[in-house]
Structure 1
Amino acid sequence: MGFENPSREEIGEILKHAGNIAVVGLSDKSDRTSHMVSRAMQQRGYRIIPVNPAAAEILGETCYPSLQDIPEPVDIVNVFRRSEYCAEVARDAAEIGAKVLWLQQGIISSEAAEIAREHGMTAIMDRCIKVEDSVTLGGR
């Protein structure tokens, strides 16, 4: 059976109950998509935890070099990395007990989705979290 993203309703429920969102590959450069999307999500009330080994702070939040370095629970791991790195990120997300592995628009990794499924995580691929938040939750 091939991969299928959760329904829009399920995605809305995931976002409605999301606490911490760790963003792997979040850039400290304000003109990068990862930065713009994460800033918008932060402005919508989500807690964004940056994961980038090259920065100390992004969007006013402490930046961590890896998922394992985050000292608190993570609900969603939002990934802004090329597909070939996503299986490793999925394993790291499973290790920290994340509930959702979210690969941003344009990122697809069947291996990462399979790792997520094997560890009881929901996998979402090739979808922008900011767009899904706007579509499913509107003005909340």
Structure 2
Amino acid sequence: MVPQSVRELLERKARIAVVGASADPSKYGHIIPRYLERRGYPVLRVNPAHDRVGEAACHATVADLPEAPAIVDFVVPPRVALAVVEGLPDTLDAVLWFQPGSFDAAVVAAAEARGGVVVAGPCIMVEARD
């Protein structure tokens, strides 16, 4: 379930960081950012393996982003998601959104321990539909 506060961020077209951004058009790390951009969302890409994904800059970590996102969307395996969550800046005040397949109980527990809003399970592409 997506809390109303998160729905309001989606309605405002808030900035979204996608962890696991990919240059491979068959991967959700490529599909999701493009989908969101086509719907007017400002998207930041995060993947330490890339400097760019297509024309867009890609950042090694969430801490390296030039602007703070309102939502951090995870499109990575749970072990990677856990490492990213554990390395997030303490000052980050963003919804942590885990796509299907990107989380397990340990990931959700670590995310919830940060004290912010956590969305685990719903697909952001479904929730961000016009």
TM-score for both structures, normalised by structure 2: 0.85
- Percent of aligned positions with the same letter in both sequences? 27
The CA RMSD measured in Å over matched residues stands at 2.0
Shift of 1:115: 2.6
Shift of 1:19: 2.7
The partner residue of 2:120 within 125, 130, 133 is 125
The partner residue of 1:6 within 2, 6, 22 is 2
Give CA-to-partner distance per residue, 1:64-93, whole Å, 9 cap, x none: 111111122121111111112222222233
SS of match in other structure, 1:95: coil
Shift of 1:58: 1.8
Pairing 1:71–2:66 present: yes
- 1:55 alignment counterpart: 50
**Does the CA contact (< 8 Å) of 1:41 and 1:130 recur in 2?**
yes
Shift of 1:124: 0.9
Aligned-partner Cα distance in 2 for 1:65–1:57? 10
SS of match in other structure, 2:30: helix
Moved over 4 A (4+): none
The partner residue of 2:95 within 85, 100, 104 is 100
**Does the CA contact (< 8 Å) of 1:77 and 1:93 recur in 2?**
no
**Shift in alpha-carbon separation, 1:17–1:98, aligned structure 2, 3 A:** farther
Aligned-partner Cα distance in 1 for 2:94–2:57? 22
Aligned residues: 130
Aligned-partner Cα distance in 1 for 2:98–2:58? 20
Moved more, 27-36 or 93-102: 93-102
The 5 A counterparts of 1:27-42 are 27-42=22-37
Moved more, 38-47 or 49-58: 49-58
- Which ranges in structure 2 are unaligned for 5 or more consecutive residues? none
- Which ranges in structure 1 are unaligned for 5 or more consecutive residues? none
Pairing 1:109–2:104 present: yes
**Shift in alpha-carbon separation, 1:93–1:20, aligned structure 2, 3 A:** farther
The 5 A counterparts of 1:76-95 are 76-95=71-90
